[in-house]
Structure 1
Amino acid sequence: MTAEEMRNFFGGQGLRPELLAQAAAFREANPWQGKREVNAPRFPYFGTEILTAALTALLAGANLLLAGPKATGKNILAENLAVLLGRPLWNVSFHIDVDASYLIGMDTFKGGEVCFRPGPVHDCVTAGGICVLDEINMARNEALAVLHSLLDHRRQLEVPGYDRLNLHPATRFIATMNYGYSGTRELNEALLSRFVVIHMPVPGESELTSLLKYEFPDLRETVARTMAALFLDLRQKYEAREISGRALDLRGLLEALRLIKLGLTAGQAFSMGLTGKCFDLQERALAEDIIALRLPADWGREEIFAG
């Protein structure tokens, strides 16, 4: 699906015409002419209410924080928003080694001379892209400090030894954070005040079924609903802390269906895509039992796909 087809898709999903018109006006006022491509996301985001709120926030010029547990579609939503605004994405994944110089840039040698090598945030904000600050609650204080003036009304940053960095008017920031991951922490009030926050809902059976049918149009309707219910069973066990998040893997579920389509049985495919990621034997057995209650292990392509 091209970027234009993706935008038309959302018109059919219930996004208000005036909101789509505002997004079109934004694209017209800020045409993208850079080398980086505006790529259509792999999947559309299914959830009109959340998409409406998020798009409205970005059109208003706000910085957006998407907070929620695993497999709620935070990065998929960010990719969809970028297409609707006609801007490319720069993704910055925070971890212990990400510091200010990585984000903004640093001195380096080129041709025997010292020159400035810009970082991903520098590249994004000067070009006017969408900067995704992934897992922002894993960032070090030093890394966050350089973002404060970029994220508030000043929209600029003093780069020591170089010119002041001014944001392109079309630049937008989208931060994501998960709850309860090892190494995460609470965001301080000064940083939180620079964002509007959306708490991402857990996708229900309807949204999951729509996603599965979008990716696999020939997936039998009853099987699509079964797969969605299966994924919700795994989430329930995860939230009850009976299994870890390893088996709660939407990408793994989709990969398992691709393997089945190419000839593997359901048992083989789900072992490779989901349960094999559980290295604790007891946890793996529990995940296998959950799947077995919904789907026979010997089912193959004929039972799961039509035609």
Structure 2
Amino acid sequence: MSNADAYRVRREPFYQAQDNEVAHYEAAYAARLPVMLKGPTGCGKSRFVEYMAWKLGKPLITVACNEDMTAADLVGRFLLDASGTHWQDGPLTLAARLGAICYLDEIVEARQDTLVVIHPLTDHRRTLPLDKKGEQVEAHADFQLVISYNPGYQSLMKDLKQSTKQRFTAFQFDYPEAALEVGIICQETAVDRNISEKLVEIAQAGRRLKGHGLDEGISTRLVVNAAALIGQGVAPADACRMAMVRPITDDADVIDTLDHAISAVFG
């Protein structure tokens, strides 16, 4: 198995298209344009990237960005072992060499000085300078860079600079419409349509509280978690409290409001 094969998505991930984003991504990939996915937590951005990597038959290397991530974590560093010093590629460098899709998840969590290293890969140069090694990596013809972030968490301290944003084509994601979301829950879990509809009803009630006590709405991911608990025999109301309410807030008033909504739906 080649290095590239080790990063291929072997099984088709379930992804429910909401619009024409699949065709639009295929066009962006054909032009090798960098892609930016914007949308709330748990709305399907990462699943979409995984699905597109599978559909296109390309390896996928994912990096979960965080505030401690350095440029060396992305591009690589020299390591010392018993045999001496050797260079180890970081995930971004590896993706550029192999022709993989490199997915930087929640990129705004990374430090601004770290993000500068991606710039030469996102324009006509398609190169990655490895200053410490004295090498300039020419990106493989199949390489593509994809980033994601949640605009709801933007702040003056955590936002992408225009010099970074304008290097990407952008897709706006949101929670699915009710009928689509019900279908997703049924596909992803063992619960029936009636239960799925009730779970989505509660999720939508929670989303209406965004900005009114909740920083973030109840995501599709959390609805799937609740359905999975129900499939394991947990009472529906308890599953909703465990998976859809308690993880997203500690505010007693908001918890009380959502608990009342759960009781109204499930009795």
Same fold (TM over 0.5): yes
Cα distance, 1:260–1:72 mapped onto 2, change above 3 Å: closer
Letter in 2 for 1:199: Q
Hey, what does 1:227 align to over in structure 2?
199
Q: 186, 204, 224: which one pairs with 1:213?
A: 186
Which residue of the other structure, out of 76, 101, 106, is the alignment partner of 2:72?
101
State the identity as a percent: 22
Q: Hey, what's the Cα distance between the residues in 1 that align with 2:12 and 2:146? A: 16
Shift of 1:65: 0.6
TM-score relative to the length of structure 1: 0.78
Letter matched to residue 150 of structure 2: N
Matched residue type, 2:230: I
Q: Show CA shifts across 1:97-132 (max 9, x none).
A: 111111000111023411111111111111111111
Report the Cα offset of residue 66 of structure 1. Answer: 0.9
Choose the corresponding residue for 1:78, options 49, 59, 67.
49
Alpha-carbon distance change, 76 to 36 in structure 1, aligned in 2, over 3 angstroms: closer
Give the aligned partner of residue 303 of structure 1. Answer: none
Question: For each residue in 1:22-44, what CA deviation from the matched residue of structure 2 results, as whole angstroms up to 9, or x when unmatched?
Answer: xxxxxxxxx99533332336431
Is 2:265 the counterpart of 1:294?
yes
Residue 122 of structure 1 aligns to which amino acid in structure 2?
A: T
User: Which structure 1 residue ranges, 5 or more long, are not aligned?
Assistant: 1-30, 297-307
Q: Could you say what secondary structure the match of 2:7 adopts?
A: coil
- Which of these residues, 141, 162, 172, is aligned with residue 169 of structure 1? 141
CA contact (8 A) 2:8 2:57 kept: no
Gaps of 5+ in 2: none
CA distance in 1, matches of 2:40, 2:12: 21
Q: Call closer, same or farther: CA 1:227–1:97 in 2, change over 3 Å.
A: same
Question: 1:139 offset after TM fit, Å?
Answer: 2.4
Distance in 2 (CA, whole Å) between partners of 1:50 and 1:291 is: 33
Equivalence for 2:226:
256
Q: Which has the higher contact order (CA 8 A, sep 6+)?
A: 2
Partner of 2:165: 192
| 1:291 counterpart SS class | helix
CA separation of 1:34/1:131 partners in 2, compared to 1, >3 Å: closer, same or farther?
same
What amino acid sits opposite 1:290 in the alignment?
Answer: A
Does 1:202 pair with 2:175? yes
**Structure 1 CA distance, aligned partners of 2:151 and 2:253?**
25
Distance 1:255 1:200 in 2: 20
Change over 3 Å in CA distance of 1:113–1:33 after alignment to 2: closer
**Counterpart secondary structure, 2:250:** coil
Q: Deviations over 1:244-289 (max 9, x none)?
A: 43x7143332222222222221122222212232333222212211
Q: CA RMSD in A?
A: 2.3
With over 3 angstroms needed to count, the CA separation of the structure-2 counterparts of 1:41 and 1:259, relative to structure 1, is same
Matching residue's letter, 1:241: H
Partners in 2 of 1:224 and 1:81 — Cα distance? 26
Would you say 1:270 and 2:266 are equivalent positions? no
Residue 94 (structure 1) shift: 2.0
Residue in structure 1 matched with residue 22 of structure 2 by the alignment: 51
206-215 or 136-145: which moved more?
Answer: 136-145
Separation in 1 of the partners of 2:161 and 2:231?
47
Q: Deviations over 1:69-121 (max 9, x none)?
A: 23321111111111111112211222211111110001110234111111111
Read off the aligned partner of 1:252 and give its amino acid letter.
L
Do the aligned partners of 1:46 and 1:210 also contact (CA within 8 Å) in 2? no
1:118 counterpart letter in structure 2: D
Q: Does the CA-based 8 Å contact 2:42-2:222 persist in structure 1?
A: no
Separation (CA, whole Å) in 1 of partners of 2:265 and 2:88: 53
